[in-house]
Amino acid sequence: MTIAERLGRPEILALPPCDIAGAPVAGTVRLDANENPFPPLISGQGGVNRYPEPQPAVLRQRLADLYGVAASRLWVARGSDDAIDLLIRAFCTAGRDTVAIVEPTFSAYAQFARVQGARVVSARLTDDLRFDASAVLALAKAERPKILFLCTPNNPTGTPVSGDEVRAIAAALPDTLVVADEAYGEFSNEPSVAGDVGVIPNLVVLKTLSKAYGLAGARIGCAIADESVIDFIARVAPPYPLPTPSIQAALGALGPERMPLHADRIARLLADRSRLANALRAAPDVRGVREGGNFLFLDVDDPADLARRMAAAAVRVRFRPKATPGGVRVTVGTDAENRALLAVFGIGEPGRPARRADLVRDTKETRIALSIDLDRTEPRRIDTGIPFYDHMLDQVAAHGGFSLVLACEGDLAIDPHHSVEDIAIALGTALRQALGDKRGIGRFGFALPMDETRAEVLVDLSGRPFARFEGDFATAAVGGLPTEMVPHVFRSIADSLGAAIHVRVEGDNDHHKVEGCFKAFGRALRSGLALEGDSNALPSTKGML
């Protein structure tokens, strides 16, 4: 007997499979779902006149690959909230079964349980907000809950539950579904327990794309569980739970060219979280700061006074007095949002705003994602599909003294042209965005020779695009990069950055000449991007660039 047959509601076990039209099959005429055959009268959302797949196979497999599990053990839901509701509806009989939680925690566990008519029992974190496995086990053995929810790291306190603790609790409670909610797992040092699903039949893991992958509005999450549990979830799920635009958004966001950017953003949020925590620990009205997920949990002296100050500053945070009387949960935001938060506590951040930008550029030929930070030298991770072009762009970033994370999926099987050009446009656009109002920069830059090659690049970050390239190449390509595209790269950057770029190169070796152009451009950018001491002046007599 499976874990679902032992623990599931008998009436759900008796339900026949949901009677809905099957997934679309290529090459067939679809007249089985009572759909309107005409495209919708809106732009950019083709296909929404047809019902989506109940469980979109491509997205299900992509999520399974992302989390390292078999697709048959994964159910795609409308966010992890939906997965919580489905689990309770599938396994908890109203008036008879019990759901256990560890307070303070995510309110949806108790809310969905009470809607279903299940009883809710709770253990608590310790006084210093640590997880107490012995207290949880004592509660579960006394109350015999059908489902136990463990949020790790916990919302709102950030408290972690170690993988060893999750596994030990699941092993001790074979007749309870132990649900590890890893909604914030990407921001935790604790490894996921998703790989233990199936090996531990009563273990369920919840994941979401709302937090680390920025898709809260798309409502995509999943439950990872024993296949019999997945079958039970399917019996109570709505017929077509996932909107087509949400499926498309999730697949787009999880494209291979996007993943390096996600990793960089997570690292950036963690660094900002640590910086905010250190700053707030020095605030006189803050008694304690805990870090977890993409948020901080504060314990403040006077939450009512803080609420008034936050309202006056139009900064919204979540007050959590049930966790602790002075409890406040604060999400890590953008640079500007974080500065606004700190200002409420009377903390001013020294120095200039960060000069960084994230950019996504999709065309019919290319899909590009990049992140740039003009005030960091690392990381530099570049994958264009053209290794020599990767090397050249890395030289620009290295000699320019800035961080660049860039990936592109392009139609290289046809020709490198689109990828080379679109990447140059994206890079120039990101540089322009990161520069902001350009106050304090050097504006101008120039550079010099390499071996037998003389490569000179002059740059003026004027806001006025102009490009001139003097030089020629004897070979058609260097390392897979067409040499005819080299002048085009600098013209595309000049146009999208809004800069005057003059390149002059001469020499005997085309490899050296191409490399010299890119290195010299990087050195010229270094001079132009450099902030000149504490100056906040605009490097222009016109008053604008």
Q: Are residues 339 and 466 in the same domain?
A: no
Structural domain includes residue 350: no
Structural domain includes residue 383: yes
Q: Are residues 81 and 203 in the same domain?
A: yes
CATH of the domain at 292: 3.90.1150.10
- Which of 286, 312, 344 marks a domain boundary? 344
Structural element, H or E, at residue 307: helix 303-312
Q: Are residues 274 and 362 in the same domain?
A: no
Q: Are residues 329 and 382 in the same domain?
A: no
Q: Are 136 and 159 in contact (CB under 8 A)?
A: no
Q: What is the mean pLDDT of the chain?
A: 91
Q: Are residues 52 and 141 in the same domain?
A: yes
Structural domain includes residue 534: no
Q: Are residues 447 and 525 in the same domain?
A: yes
Q: Are residues 274 and 239 in the same domain?
A: no
Give the C-alpha separation, 524 to 505, whole Å.
Answer: 14
Structural domain includes residue 478: yes
- Which of 222, 253, 284 marks a domain boundary? 253
Burial (0-12, 13-18, 19+ Cβ within 10 Å), 374: buried
Structural domain includes residue 389: yes
Structural domain includes residue 544: no
CATH of the domain at 144: 3.40.640.10
Q: Are residues 33 and 167 in the same domain?
A: yes
Looking up tokens 């990087």 gives: 522
Q: Where are the beta strands (DSSP E) in 47-170?
A: 74-77, 98-103, 119-124, 147-151
Structural domain includes residue 351: no
pLDDT tens string 41-69:
666 666 788 888 889 999 999 999 999 99
Give the C-alpha separation, 225 to 209, whole Å.
Answer: 18
Looking up tokens 């233990």 gives: 196
Residues in contact with 199: Cβ distance below 8 Å, sequence separation at least 6, in sequence order: none
Give the C-alpha separation, 483 to 485, whole Å.
Answer: 5
Q: Are residues 147 and 48 in the same domain?
A: yes
- pLDDT by residue for the chain (545 residues), tens only, comes to 898 888 988 888 777 766 666 666 666 665 555 565 666 666 666 678 888 888 999 999 999 999 999 999 999 999 999 999 999 999 999 999 999 999 999 999 999 999 999 999 999 999 999 999 999 999 999 999 999 999 999 999 999 999 999 999 999 999 999 999 999 999 999 999 999 998 999 999 999 999 999 999 999 999 999 999 999 999 999 988 999 999 999 999 999 999 999 999 999 999 999 999 999 999 999 999 999 999 999 999 999 999 999 999 999 999 999 999 999 999 999 888 999 999 999 998 766 778 999 999 999 999 999 999 999 999 999 999 999 999 999 999 999 999 999 999 999 999 999 999 999 999 999 999 999 888 888 888 777 666 778 899 999 998 899 999 999 999 999 999 999 999 999 999 999 999 999 999 999 999 999 999 999 999 999 999 998 766 666 666 565 66
Q: Are residues 293 and 385 in the same domain?
A: no
Range of the domain at 414: 356-529
CATH of the domain at 513: 3.30.230.40
Structural domain includes residue 150: yes
Q: Are residues 280 and 390 in the same domain?
A: no
Structural element, H or E, at residue 418: helix 417-435
Give the C-alpha separation, 175 to 147, whole Å.
Answer: 9
Counted domains in the chain: 3
CA 473 to chain centre: 42
